[in-house]
Amino acid sequence: MPLDPKAAVASLKELRALTADANGAQRVAWTDTWLKARAWFEGKLKDLPVEYHYDAAGNRWVTLPGASEKALILGSHLDSVPNGGWLDGCLGVMAAFEVLRHIAEDYRGKPPVTIRLVDWADEEGARFGRSLFGSSAFAGTHSIEADRGRTDRDGIRLEDAVRQCGVDIDAIGDAQQERKNAAAYLELHIEQGPVLERLGLPLAAVLGTKGVERHAITFFGQEAHSGSTPMMDRHDALAAAAKLALEIRNIAGKHPDAVCTMGSVKTFPGIVTAVVGRCETTLDQRDLDADVLAAMFAEARAKSEQFAAEEKCTVEWSRIWNIEPVPFHPHLIDLCEEAIRETAGKSHRMPSGPLHDAAEVARAGIPTVMLFVQSLKGISHNKIEDTQEEHLELAVAAFDRLASKTIAWIQA
């Protein structure tokens, strides 16, 4: 049987019927519904010439041995957020399954390189606030001590919840053994944003995941009476912050995919009869290029000092959180574009704002690329999350072509 993209879509509907209610998908990791989804998936493996097991972090591995031990890994995640959609994560797993089935049949069970499918454990971090659980254990970037004490809203500890699912928190680092012979990693995912729909394109090659710089910025002026203080004598902390809030549009605007957001502004004393003496703000800056990110950070900082001086104020910065950009593999990005062009005619390249398991795999040094398919209205993590079925089928077909090209690349 040739590749059957409709079978992948039919499986997604089967999974939805099994694990969604009126509010959406309920496959939250380390819950009974998630285990039900994983048992359902295991049932699909029975007729394939594959070995399968869970690793020490609860990631599901399915292996089709090839002539070479070098492995092409295809993966994504079956877990969802509460009240989630029918595509986030599980599209990538069901597409990987269909491609694996197709390759097993094409090569009569013995492809030139080993093909592995992975269903990562707890990508979303919805219950314990710890995203990319399984893939970070695989990559060796996990942090057991920081995660051990996490609890869900009922006070159940992460350590105990994962043990219920057969995972010993102290042993999850053993998942790194699965990196042996890994030659490339491919992941299909919905875009979760509005860009492809606006462009009228079904598919895109993903350049990597954006880095983030997140800071608290506080402007200090002088509280003073709103009636008795002439305009020229004011030290208005809000005026300095307001200038920066507008300036970040210019700062981001110099770079094609950069974004800057001032998401919070608090004024003190915050009353109608006082000039603002202190203004606390936050700034979130993102880009795929580490140099761009560093330049935007430096420019915002310099501008904040300029505006503080203009308003006879001072300013202090403190970092809340940051993560470096994770660029994907240049040659695999090219192969992904080729596969898209051959399947859908026109391709597009774009960075990912959200993080994905693929970022952890890339950080482990394994050549990685992702393929995005259009999301209707750019919405995900919600029951209305959707993609045209015709686009889902194109995505599975393009993913299959990408897998073939990557097999040839690994062989060479």
Q: Which residues bind Zn ion (CB under 5 A)?
A: 88-89
In eight-state DSSP terms, residue 272 is: T
User: Least distance from C-beta 190 to Zn ion, angstroms?
Assistant: 8
CA separation for the pair 32, 36 (Å, rounded): 6
Phi, psi at residue 61, to the nearest 5°?
Answer: -115, 135
Q: With respect to Zn ion, which residue has the nearer C-beta, 159 or 385?
A: 385
Phi, psi at residue 254, to the nearest 5°?
Answer: -75, -10
In contact, 226 and 274? CB cutoff 8 Å: yes
How far is C-alpha 20 from the chain's CA centre? 22
In contact, 102 and 7? CB cutoff 8 Å: no
User: Least distance from C-beta 287 to Zn ion, angstroms?
Assistant: 21
Q: With respect to Zn ion, which residue has the nearer C-beta, 5 or 89?
A: 89
Q: With respect to Zn ion, which residue has the nearer C-beta, 88 or 197?
A: 88
β-pair partners for 105:
none
Q: With respect to Zn ion, which residue has the nearer C-beta, 260 or 395?
A: 395
Phi, psi at residue 352, to the nearest 5°?
Answer: -105, 125
Q: How far is CA 215 from CA 288, 364, 375, in A?
A: 18, 27, 30
Q: With respect to Zn ion, which residue has the nearer C-beta, 88 or 289?
A: 88
Q: With respect to Zn ion, which residue has the nearer C-beta, 88 or 393?
A: 88
User: Least distance from C-beta 89 to Zn ion, angstroms?
Assistant: 4
> Which uninterrupted H or E stretch holds 183?
strand 182-190
User: Least distance from C-beta 263 to Zn ion, angstroms?
Assistant: 23
User: Least distance from C-beta 76 to Zn ion, angstroms?
Assistant: 7
User: Least distance from C-beta 356 to Zn ion, angstroms?
Assistant: 6
**Residue with nearest beta carbon to Zn ion:** 89
Q: How far is CA 385 from CA 43, 51, 199, 224, 332, in A?
A: 26, 33, 19, 50, 28
